[in-house]
């Protein structure tokens, strides 16, 4: 009865009180509310939205649906980074060991691919033997020992989000600001953090493509963190093209390893350093973002960050030798170059089409629980604005068979558009959002200038 009344009220634009959110979530987890009812409520929320108090209450109810990690005995700051989801986004794989090598504890909880976007857990599972399902006790012990654990959401943490996330994925209700904010923040607040940095994607490949909606999401999450005593900084970054060159699980892992060895593509490094600098300043391990950046460069050039990744892989049962020899990762049986069909400028590298292409190759799921092929995907070195000549290689397709190569070709033909005039992509990092408000991200001017000169 409770669920029926709440669906009806939300459908008609009413409010749900904090106690009602608690009862609803508790009842849902005990199967007193059916998936059909919850789906109807999610759709009503999608159209009607939630006000700030309702978003706080839903987040709180989801957070309290499970246990939290207690790392308060650690002397070091405990920070995490979360992205709202993108294509080719392997920042977490670089950032977590990098931060751990610089004295920040990183209990990083990540997800699997959602819609057209990839998931950090799937990428990590390209490493033979790597366990992403650690208990809270194991996570705690590992963070104490080596400063970092890369884990999935277990049944212990925010189980309500786990079920709601799957339901949203199958009912077209992912793209809702309060639902995304409550989903992400309920998990992050359960990690017992002293600070959180968010990478809010904007552009055609983001769940919320417009800058206005991205900024609104950022502000909601910054304020949710503040209400729980966790300072949050959000950066808005571009997802109108894939991040880095590799798209696909093992390929992205390999690119992350290269980045930890100092050979990452410039856009990936810029976003990684920008988010890392925020984490280090929030955690008090660097006085300024410039100092943080210098420390990160040293951690990479000295090999300390890569060594920390090796330790994390070893601790979680994976093959640590991949850090020195990424050819040990699964390799696609077929590899084919994709060449420019004509002279011109690269107008778009559509991240959605690339992400869907990875799924079509077998590297992502159409249904939850589907097995995935970690070896397949694309490497796309061209970026919007690049000048290409007919017949010049623009990308590589890694597939398991000839049918996969053909599917890959189709995806890239749709995704990479060549035009007579250059179009300028979104600035890689456009805004910085804190409790004080929204600021343009400094350093942008230089990027805009470079784009204008091309």
Shortest spacing between CB 303 and ligand URA, in angstroms: 32
Q: Does 430 bind ligand URA (CB under 6 A)?
A: no
- Which of 77, 85, 357, 363 touches ligand URA by CB under 6 A? 85
> Which of residues 200 and 395 has its CB atom nearest to ligand URA in the complex?
200
- Which of 101, 183, 316, 348 touches ligand URA by CB under 6 A? 183
- Per CB under 6 A, the segment of 178-186, 323-331, 362-370, 393-401 that binds ligand URA is 178-186
- Which of 111, 225, 244, 357 touches ligand URA by CB under 6 A? 111
> Which of residues 109 and 253 has its CB atom nearest to ligand URA in the complex?
109
- Per CB under 6 A, the segment of 58-66, 175-183, 213-221, 263-271 that binds ligand URA is 175-183
> Which of residues 184 and 405 has its CB atom nearest to ligand URA in the complex?
184
Number of residues that bind ligand URA (CB under 6 A): 10
Catalytic residues: 82, 161, 168, 183, 187
User: Of all residues in this chain, which one has the CB nearest to ligand URA in the complex?
Assistant: 183
Q: Does 84 bind ligand URA (CB under 6 A)?
A: yes
Shortest spacing between CB 148 and ligand URA, in angstroms: 20
> Which of residues 239 and 447 has its CB atom nearest to ligand URA in the complex?
239
**Which of these, 286, 238, 378, lies nearest to 98 by C-alpha position?**
286
- Which of 3, 180, 299, 379 touches ligand URA by CB under 6 A? 180
Shortest spacing between CB 89 and ligand URA, in angstroms: 12
> Which of residues 112 and 310 has its CB atom nearest to ligand URA in the complex?
112
Shortest spacing between CB 183 and ligand URA, in angstroms: 4
Interface with ligand URA by CB under 6 A: which residues? Answer: 84-85, 111, 114, 165, 174, 179-180, 183-184
């Amino acid at each position: 009865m409770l669920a029926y009344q709440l669906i009806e009220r939300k459908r008609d634009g009413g409010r749900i009180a904090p106690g009602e959110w608690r009862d609803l979530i508790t009842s849902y987890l005990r199967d007193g509310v059916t998936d059909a009812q919850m789906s109807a409520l999610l759709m009503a929320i999608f159209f009607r939205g939630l006000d700030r108090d309702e978003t706080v209450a839903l987040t709180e109810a989801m957070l309290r649906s499970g246990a939290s990690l207690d790392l308060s005995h650690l002397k070091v700051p405990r920070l995490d980074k979360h992205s709202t989801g993108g294509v080719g986004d392997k920042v977490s794989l670089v950032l977590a060991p990098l931060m751990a090598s610089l004295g920040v504890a990183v209990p990083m909880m990540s997800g699997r691919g959602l819609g057209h976007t990839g998931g950090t857990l799937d990428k990590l599972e390209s490493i033979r033997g790597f366990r992403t399902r650690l208990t809270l006790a194991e996570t705690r012990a590992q963070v104490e020992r080596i400063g970092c654990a890369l884990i999935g959401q277990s049944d212990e943490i925010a189980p309500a989000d786990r079920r709601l996330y799957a339901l949203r994925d199958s009912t077209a209700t992912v793209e809702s600001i309060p639902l995304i904010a409550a989903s992400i923040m309920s998990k992050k607040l359960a990690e017992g953090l002293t600070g959180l940095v968010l990478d809010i994607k904007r552009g055609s490949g983001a769940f919320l493509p417009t800058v206005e909606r991205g900024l609104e999401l950022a502000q909601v999450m910054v304020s949710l963190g503040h209400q729980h005593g966790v300072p949050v900084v959000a950066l808005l970054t571009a997802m109108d093209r894939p991040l880095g060159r590799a798209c696909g699980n093992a390929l992205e892992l390999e690119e992350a390893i290269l980045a930890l060895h100092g050979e990452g593509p410039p856009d990936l490094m810029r976003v990684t350093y920008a988010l890392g600098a925020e984490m280090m300043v929030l955690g008090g391990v660097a006085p300024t973002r410039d100092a943080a950046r210098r420390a990160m460069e040293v951690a990479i050039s000295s090999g300390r960050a890569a060594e920390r990744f090796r330790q994390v892989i070893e601790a979680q049962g994976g093959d640590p030798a991949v850090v020195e020899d990424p050819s040990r990762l699964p390799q696609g049986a077929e590899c084919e170059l994709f060449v420019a069909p004509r002279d011109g400028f690269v107008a778009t590298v559509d991240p959605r089409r690339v992400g869907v292409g990875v799924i079509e190759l077998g590297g992502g799921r159409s249904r939850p629980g589907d097995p995935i092929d970690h070896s397949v995907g694309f490497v796309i070195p061209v970026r919007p604005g690049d000048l290409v000549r007919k017949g010049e290689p623009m990308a590589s397709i890694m597939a398991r068979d000839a049918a996969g190569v053909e599917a890959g070709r189709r995806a890239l033909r749709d995704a990479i558009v060549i035009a007579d005039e250059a179009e300028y992509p979104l600035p890689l990092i456009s805004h910085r959002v804190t409790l004080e408000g929204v600021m343009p991200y400094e350093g942008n001017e230089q990027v805009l200038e470079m784009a204008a000169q091309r």
